[in-house]
Structure 1
Amino acid sequence: MEFGFSARTFLLIISTLAVSICDGEGSDTIPKDVVEVNLKQIRDVSTNSFGDLCITEQFRLLSVPIDAQRYDAARQKADLAAMLLQDLGLVHHNGLQDAISRNLLVSDQHILSARVLAINVTTGELQNCAWWRRQAMEMGGPRRLTENTPHIGQRPDAEYPWYEDADSTPALRSPKFMPSPTNISYSGWWTYPYYSCAERKWLISYSVPIPSQGRHGTKGFLSLDIDVSNLEVNQCEESESSNEVDILHGTHKCHNSTSKCLYQQNQSEGTWKTGCYMCKCRDGFYTTHNDGLFNGTLVEVAYSEHLENSSEVWSQVFGCLQCAPGCKVCKGPEPCLATYHWPFRITLLVFSVTCAFCTVILIIYMFQHRKLKVFKVASPIFLSITLLGCATMYLEMAAIYPVLDMYACVATKWSRHLGFCITYTALLMKTWRVSLTYRVKSAHKVKLTDKQLLQWMVPILLVMLIYLSTWTLSATPVAEEIEDQEGLKFKQCSYNWWDHSLAIGEVLFLAWGIRVCYNVRNAESLFNEARLISYAIYNIALVNCTMVAFHLLIFPKAGPDIKYLLGFARTQMSTTVTIALVFGPKVIRVLKGQGDQWDNRARSRGVTASFSLNGIGLVPEEPPDLYQENEELKEEIQKLAGQIEFMKIVHMEMNNRHVKPKTGGYFSSLAAPAIQSPMAKAGCLLAKTSSDDL
C-alpha cells in the first residue's frame, strides 16, 4: 500500500494554519479574577476539597493557558497519524486505529493515553473507539480501555474536555481549547489544562479532527492526553525555569510594595499546589512576626478571608512596616540616622557668616585708611589678600551646614583648602621678605616690592587652583555614610588619596613657613608686625595639627554636631586668631589716633629706618619720605666713621710698637694684662665685630 498526502489534506493544513494564526492574537491576556478562580480550583484539588468534582463531573477545566510547545514532538506525531488515517480511511482499518493509538503511547513518555474515534457523518453516532491508556508499561505494555468510554451507536459525549462537537468546524473553535500560537501551524488544538478524576492528575489533551472522504462517509477524531502534573506552580515573579506554569507567575499574595516572594519548590510531586512560596520583607521594611518570613499557604488563606471581608489578618499580620529613614535593613522602628540639632548648628553658622561679613567690612575699613603709616608700612594689598582668604575659610561652615551631598563636599574642599592657601601664602610672603632683608648685613639694602612678591605668590595659588579643579572634575568628592559611636548613620565627605596628597603638601608648606618665622625671631620691625605674623603662622600650624588629632584619635566616632563644632572651633582658633594678631593692634592704633605715628618704642630698641617698611622701601609711585632718607643717611655716615676710626687706631699701633695700650683703653683686656701685638688685637677686634653683626 502506498502512503502519501492528498490535495485535500494539503488544503486542510493550509486552512488550519490560517485559522491558528488568526486565533493566536491576544491569547496571553487573562483577567485577574479569572486567574484567581483557577487558583482556587487548584487549591481545592491539592487539599482534596473536591466538592461536586468526581461526583457529578469527572473533569475540572481551567481557563488558564500553558505553554504546550514543550510537548511539540507528541503533537507532530498526532498530526502525522491523523493524516495517515485520513488517507487510508477509518471504516475498514479498525486494527490500524488500535495500532496507531497504542504506538503513540510507546513512542513518547509524556503521552498518558491516546484514542481514535470513528463517527458517522450523517448521524453523528460513534462507529468505533480505540482508547489506549499508558498503564503498567513495564508489565506488558499499554492497556485498551473498555469502561467509561463512549458507547458504539451513540453520539459521543461533548462534555469530554478533549472532544470537539460533531457539528463544529475548524473556524468555530470550542472554548475548551487554548488559542494556538501565531508562529506554529497546528492541525488540531490543545485543550486548557484540566483535572481528571479517572487519572487523578492534571492533564492537557491534543485533539485532531479527521475529515471524511465522502458525503456520507465517516469522519475521525484523534486525541492524546499529556500529563502536566509535574509542572510547578510558581506564583512568584518570572524565573529562568522552563518547567513552570508561566501564566501563574506574579499571582502570589505577598504585599508586593513591602515584601517579596521567594519560591519554595513543591515537595509533593505529581500534583499542583498553591502557596509554595515565602513572603520576605524587602530591604527597608520590617515586621515583628516570624522574623520577616511568612508561609505562602497561610498568606493565601488570609488573603481569601480578606476578600470575603471576614478578617484583617492579611493586612495587619502579613504586612511589613517601613523602617526609620535611612535604614536599609532593620528589625524594628529604631532610628538609623543621627539627629541634627539644627538650632545649635544655625547658631554656629550665623556666627561664622557674621565673622565673614565683618572681615569684608575690615577690608573696606583698611582701604579707607590705607595711607596711614600703620597700614602703609604693612603692604595694604597683602593685608587685603589675607582677609579675603580668611573670609573664604569662614564660608566652609556654610558648606558643611546641611546634610552633606556631592555639591556640599565640593564647596567644602574648595573653601577649606583655597582659603588656607590664600591666607597662609600672603602671610608667608610678608614674613619671607622680612627674612631676606634681615639677613643682609651690607650697606646695600635689599628691597622687595609688592609686585615682586605677587609674582612669587601667583604660581603657588595657580598650583592650588589646578589641583582643586582636577580633583573636582576627575574624582568629584561625594558624601558617604559613616556611623557614630551609637551606630547611627550620617553623611560625611569621602577622604581618599587626593585629600592625603594635599594634606602632605600643606604640612610641608607649613614646615617651610615655620622655618622662615624661626629665622626672623629676633628681627625688629615697626609696629612689631613680623613677630605677630610669626605667631599667627605658629598658631595655624598648631591648630590644624591639633584638630587632625581630635578627629582621628579623640573623636573618631563623633556625631555630625560634634564634627560641626570641631570645624567651628578650628575655623575660629585659626582664622579669627590670625585676624586678631595681624589686624587687632593696627585697628587699635587707628582708633586711638596713632595710626599715622611711627612706633617710637621700636626706634628706642634700635629698629632702623631700613626696617621701617619691613624691607620694601619706598614704592616708586609714591613721593619720597624725607625723614626716612635722612635717617638712612645718618646710619651710613655713622657706620663709615666707626670704620675709619678703627682703621686709624690699628695703623697707629702697627707703626708705633713702643706704644703700650692704656689700662681700660679701647684695646686693653681686663682678663689678660699681658701686652699683645697690634695685629693680634686687630684680629680679635675683627672677630668680635663679625660676631656682633651676626
Structure 2
Amino acid sequence: MGKLFCCKIILIVTFVILTGENAQGRKEKIEKSLQIIHDVAIRSLGLLCLGEDYKALSVNIRTVRFESARQKADLAATLLQDLGVAHHNGLQDAIAKNLLVSDRSILSARVLAINASSGYLVNSVWWQRQGVELEGPKKVNEILENGRRVHSVYPWYEDPDTTPSLRSPKFMLGPQNVSYKGWWTYPYYSCSSKRWLMSYSVPIPPGRRGLKGFLSLDIDISHLEVNQCEKTFSDRPNEISVFHGTHKCHNATSRCIYASHIAPNWSRGRYQCICRDGYYSPHHGGLFNGTLVEVAWQQKEENITDTWDLIFECKKCEPGCHTCIDQSPCLATYNWPFRITLLVFSVSCASCTMILNIFMFKHKRLKVFKVASPIFLSITLFGCATMYLEMAAIFPVLDTYSCIATKWSRHLGFCITYTALLMKTWRVSLTYRVKSAHKVKLTDKQLLQWMVPILLVMLIYLGTWTVSDTPTAEDILDNEGLRFKQCVYNWWDHSLAIGEVLFLAWGIRVCYNVRNAESLYNEARLISYAIYNIAIVNIMMIAFHLFIFPRAGPNIKYFLGFIRTQLSTSTTITLVFGPKVFRVLRGQGDQWDNKARSRGVSASFSLNGIGLVPEEAPDLYQENEELKEEIQKLAAQIEFMKIVHMQVNNRHLKPKAGGYFSSVNAPTVIHNPSAKTGGCLLAKAEDL
C-alpha cells in the first residue's frame, strides 16, 4: 500500500510539472506569434521579403469555418487517386481551376505530379486568384521548375526529412476523433500575395505510372481578427480564439476593451485598457492604447524601462468611490465621538425606562399606580425603550441588517407605546360620555383584547416587509456631493406612515373628546398632551428633513433622529410618569387626589375604569355606600316634588309656622306660562 501511494504521488507531481511546462511553452509560442504579427503589421521585418517569402506562426487556428474547402480538396484528391496522375496536366488543370471557382475563400489551388522514386517534379498546375480574375498556370509555373525537387521552403509542402509522412512542424495536429486526408498548415504570411494564409495539403499515393500526386489549397485568412481581450459571449465569429486573454493590461486595476478601429485585423495591441470602477489614472484619462501597452510590457520584460508599471497601471480611488478622476474623497465623514455621545445618552434613557418599570412594580399597590393600570404603564415603558434603541440601529454605517433593525424599532416601538396610552384614554372617553346611571366598566383584560389585534397587524406587516422586500441601504449625496448610506424609503414606508398618521388622528380625536373629563391625578389630560406632542414632533421632523435639511450629512441626520426621539419618547415618559414618581418620592403615592375629589371625581373614576386593578376584588362596601348616597338624594328630590305639586293644587292650605314652606323657608315662586289659572311652580333654590 505504501509503494502504491508513493507511485500515485509521483505520477501526480509529474503530471503537474508536465502540465506547467506545456502551459509555459504554449504561452511562449503565443507571445512569439504575437511578435511576428506585430513585426509584419509595422513592416519592421524588412529582410522578411528579401531573404524569406513566408513567415509562419506556431499557434493553432480552428479550421471548422473552412470545412467546405477541405471537403472539396479531399474529394478532388480521391478523384486524382482513382484516375491517376498523368504526364499531361489537363486533368490537374481542370481540377485546380474548378476548386478555385467553387469557393470564394480559396485564394489559390495547385496540383503537382512527382516521380515517386526520384522525387523530381514531373508537371504542375497552379491557379491563383488576383482580385476577381483567375491567373493561369503559365506565370506561376515559373516558380516550380520541372525536373527539380520541390523546394521545402514552401509552407504547404512536406519536408524531405519527413517523407512520405506530412507530420512536420509546418502542419498543425488534426482534431481528435476526426479523419482528414491531408493536413492544415500553421497560419503564415505570404510576401508574394501580401496576405495571411493557411494551406490544406493532401498527398496522393503513387499510381501505376510511378507518379505520386500532391494537392494543396491556400485559404485567405486576412479577414480574421486578432482579439487579445478575454473571451465573451458577444465575440465576433471571425475572432481567433487562441489569442483571447493575451492582452497586457493590468488585470487588477484595468480591463481590456477590443477596439477594431485602431489597427488592421492582424495587429498586436488591437485593444484599449480602461481603468476599472474604483480606479483612475492621471495619464491619458485612464484609457490606454493597446499598442503602447504592448511596447511598454515588452520593454519591461527586457529590463529597459518601468513605464508599464508607472504609467499604465491605474491607481485606487479613495474609499467608497465607484468612479473617480483623482484622489478626492467620495464618502461623507462620520463624527464618531459625537455619535457615540448621543448613543450612550439614548441607551442610558432606555436603561432608565427599565429601572422605572421596576420602580413602578415595586410600588404598584400605591393608589397613584393602582388606579392607572400598571400593566398598561409597563407596556408603555417597554415601547419607549424600543424607540430609544432606534438610535443604536442607525448608529453604524447603515447596511441591510441595521435598516431592518431601524424599521422594527421605530414602528413597533411607536405602536406599542401609543396603543397602550390610547387604550387607556379611550376607556376614559367611553366612561365620560355615558348618559345612563349605570356605570360602564372596561377591565384591563378587555382592553388588552382590543390591543393585541393592533399589535398583531403591525407584526405581520413588518414581518412581510422584511421577508418579501428586505430593507436595504442606498447611497445618497450630501450638500458637498459626498456619499453615505441611508435606508431605502419605498411604498412600504409610505403605506405604514399613512397608517400611523391615521392612528394618531384617531388618538387626537379621542383626546379631544375627554378634554373636559376629570380623572384622578389628572392622568387623562397628561396623556392627551403626550399624544399631541408626538403628532407635533413628527410633523416638525418631516418638515426639517424635507425642506430645511434635504441633503444633510449623516451626522446631522443622526442628530435629528436623536432630537425626535427625545422630544417624543422622553416627553411622553415625563408627562405620564413624572407626576406619579414625584408623588411617590414625596410620600403621597397612596393618597387620593384631593383636588379631583373636591370637584366630584370619585375614586372609581380613573384611567383604570373601575378604580382597582382587575386582578383584585372590588370594594363592595364602598360601592354600596355610594349607591345609598345616590338613592337618598333621589328620594329627597321625589319627596320635594310631591310637596310642591300638592301646594300648587291646594291653595287653601297654609304652611305651618316653622315648617318647610313657611315664610322663612319659602321657596322661590316660578310662574308656569302653560297653566290656565296663572298658577306657579315652586322650585327649591338650593341643589340637593
Q: Give the TM-score, by structure 1 length.
A: 0.87
Q: Is the 8 A contact 2:424 2:607 kept in 1?
A: no
Q: Residue 110 of structure 2 is aligned with which of 115, 123, 136?
A: 115
Match of 2:537 in 1: 543
User: Residues 495 and 682 from structure 1, CA distance in 2 versus in 1: closer, same or farther, beyond 3 angstroms?
Assistant: farther
- What does residue 272 of structure 1 align with? 266
- The answer to whether the 8 A contact 1:609-1:631 is kept is no
Aligned residue for 1:195, secondary structure, equals strand
Q: Quick one: which amino acid aligns to residue 473 of structure 1? A: V
CA distance in 2, matches of 1:197, 1:35: 22
User: What amino acid is aligned across from residue 234 of structure 1 in structure 2?
Assistant: N
| 1:114-159 CA distance string (max 9 Å, x none) | 2222222222222223233333654x74343357624333322222
Q: Which one of the candidate residues 217, 229, 233 is aligned to 2:226?
A: 233
Distance of 2:683 and 2:507 partners within structure 1: 36
Measure, in 2, the Cα distance between the counterparts of 1:572 and 1:376.
27
Q: Aligned to 1:482, which of 473, 476, 481?
A: 476
The match for 2:513 among 519, 524, 536 is 519
Letter of the 1:222 counterpart = L
Which among 83, 90, 98 is matched to residue 85 of structure 2?
90
Q: For 1:599-614, list aligned pairs within 5 A.
A: 599-611=593-605, 614=608
Could you tell me which residue of structure 1 aligns to residue 394 of structure 2?
400
Counterpart-to-counterpart distance in 1, 2:578 and 2:584: 10
Matching of residues 32-111 of structure 1 within 5 Å = 32-111=27-106
Give the 3 Å change call, closer, same or farther, for CA 101–30 of structure 1 in structure 2: farther
C-alpha distance in 2, partners of 1:29/1:186? 29
User: What code does the residue aligned with 1:236 have?
Assistant: C
- Contact (CA 8 Å) 1:105, 1:142: kept in 2 or not? no
Cα distance in 2 for partners of 1:130, 1:96 equals 10
Q: State the SS of the aligned residue for 1:339.
A: coil
Counterpart Cα distance in 2 of 1:590 and 1:627: 27
Report the identity percentage: 68
Deviations 1:32-84 (A, max 9, x none): 12111111111111111115312322211110222222222222222222222
Alignment partner of 1:368 is 2:369: no
1:525 Cα deviation from its structure 2 partner: 1.9
Between 1:161-170 and 1:292-301, the stretch displaced more is 161-170
Are 2:549 and 1:555 equivalent residues in the alignment?
yes
Q: In the alignment, does 2:447 pair up with 1:453?
A: yes
- Report the residue type matching 1:292 in the other structure: G
1:586 equivalent to 2:580? Answer: yes
What is the rounded CA distance, in whole Å, between the counterparts of 2:38 and 2:97 in structure 1?
34
Evaluate the alpha carbon distance shift between residue 638 and residue 546 of structure 1 in structure 2; reply closer, same or farther with a 3 A threshold.
farther
Determine the C-alpha separation between the residues in 2 that align with 1:599 and 1:393: 32
| Preserved CA contact (<8 Å) 2:404 2:470 | yes
Q: Take 2:333 and 2:309, find their aligned partners in 1: how far apart are those partners?
A: 32
Asked whether the 8 Å contact 1:163–1:207 carries over to 2, the reply is: yes
CA distance in structure 1 between the aligned counterparts of 2:25 and 2:55, rounded to whole angstroms: 18
Q: Kindly provide the amino acid, as one letter, of the partner of residue 312 in structure 2.
A: F
Separation (CA, whole Å) in 2 of partners of 1:610 and 1:91: 131
- How many Å separate the matches in 2 of 1:365 and 1:583? 11
Q: Distance in 2 between matches of 1:541 and 1:213?
A: 107
Question: What residue identity is the alignment partner of 2:668?
Answer: F
Match of 1:224 among 217, 220, 242: 217
Paired with 1:491 and 1:683, the residues of 2 have a C-alpha distance of 81
Would the alpha carbon gap of residues 666 and 545 (structure 1) be closer, same or farther in structure 2, given more than 3 Å must change?
A: farther
Residue 672 of structure 2 contacts residue 680 of structure 2 at CA under 8 Å; is this kept in 1? no
- Contact 1:661–1:667 (8 Å) recurs in 2: no
Note if contact 1:526-1:614 (Cα within 8 Å) is conserved in structure 2.
no
Secondary structure of 1:444's match? coil
Does the 8 Å contact 1:117/1:128 carry over to 2? yes
Counterparts of 2:662 and 2:326, CA distance in 1: 101
Question: For 1:134, what is the secondary structure of its paired residue?
Answer: strand
Partner AA of 1:107 in structure 2: S
2: CA distance between counterparts of 1:421 and 1:337?
Answer: 35
C-alpha separation between the residues in 1 aligned to 2:422 and 2:408? 20
Which segment drifts farther, 619-628 or 371-380?
619-628
Residues 161, 362 of structure 1: alpha-carbon distance in 2 compared, 3 angstrom cutoff: same
- Cα distance in 2 for residues equivalent to 1:597 and 1:267: 95
Residue aligning to 1:349: 343
Secondary structure of the corresponding residue to residue 589 of structure 1: helix
User: Following superposition of structure 1 onto structure 2, how do residues 5-24 of structure 1 map, counting pairs within 5 Å?
Assistant: none
Q: Alpha-carbon deviation of 1:587?
A: 1.0
Please state whether the residue corresponding to 2:70 is helix, strand or coil. helix
Q: Does the aligned pair in 1 maintain the 2:37–2:267 contact within 8 Å?
A: yes
| Aligned pairs, number | 658
CA shift, 1:589, in A, is: 1.2
Q: Within 5 Å, give how 1:119-518 maps onto structure 2.
A: 119-135=114-130, 138=133, 141-145=135-139, 149-166=143-160, 168=162, 173-182=167-176, 184-213=178-207, 217-238=210-231, 239-266=234-261, 272-518=266-512
CA separation in 2, counterparts of 1:141 and 1:310?
Answer: 49
C-alpha contact (below 8 Å) 2:293/2:308 kept by paired residues = yes
- The 1:619/1:304 distance shift into structure 2, 3 A limit, reads closer
Report the secondary structure of 1:48's partner residue.
coil
User: So what's the TM-score if we normalise by structure 2?
Assistant: 0.88
Mapped contact 2:648–2:679 kept (Cα < 8 A): no
Gap change, CA 1:358 and 1:49, over 3 Å in 2: same
Deviations along 1:364-391, one digit per CA (max 9) or x if unpaired, are 1111111111111111111111111111
| Contact kept? 1:190, 1:205, Cα under 8 Å | yes
The code of the aligned residue for 1:53 comes to L
Q: Is the 8 A contact 2:667 2:683 kept in 1?
A: no
For 2:492 and 2:681, the matched residues in 1 are separated by 58
Structure 1 unaligned runs (5+)? Answer: 1-25
Structure 1: how far apart are the matches of 2:291 and 2:262? Answer: 14
- Report the Cα distance in structure 2 between the residues aligned to 1:536 and 1:267, rounded to whole angstroms: 73
Secondary structure of the corresponding residue to residue 251 of structure 1:
coil
| Matching residue of 1:18 | none
CA distance in structure 1 between the partners assigned to 2:571 and 2:682 by the alignment? 48
Residue 629 (structure 1) shift: 4.2
Structure 2 match to 1:572: 566
Query: Taking structure 1 as reference, are residues 675 and 198 closer, same or farther at Cα in structure 2, changes over 3 Å only?
Result: closer
Q: Distance in 2 between matches of 1:393 and 1:171?
A: 88
**1:651 partnered with 2:645:** yes
Residue 261 of structure 1 deviates from its aligned partner by 2.2
Is there any run of 5+ residues in structure 2 with no aligned partner, and where?
1-20, 655-660
Q: Matched residues in 2 for 1:313 and 1:682: separation?
A: 122
Asked if the contact 2:428/2:609 (under 8 Å) is kept, the reply is: yes
Deviations 1:16-42 (A, max 9, x none): xxxxxxxxxx99997112111111111
**In 2: Cα distance, 1:133 partner to 1:167 partner:** 28
Matched-pair contact (CA < 8 Å) for 2:263–2:270? no
Superposed CA offset, 1:634-664 (max 9, x none):
7515632552365146414532568999899
Contact 2:280 2:314 in 1 (8 A): yes
Q: Tell me the SS of whatever aligns to 1:54.
A: helix
Q: 1:445 to 1:478 in 2, by over 3 A?
A: same
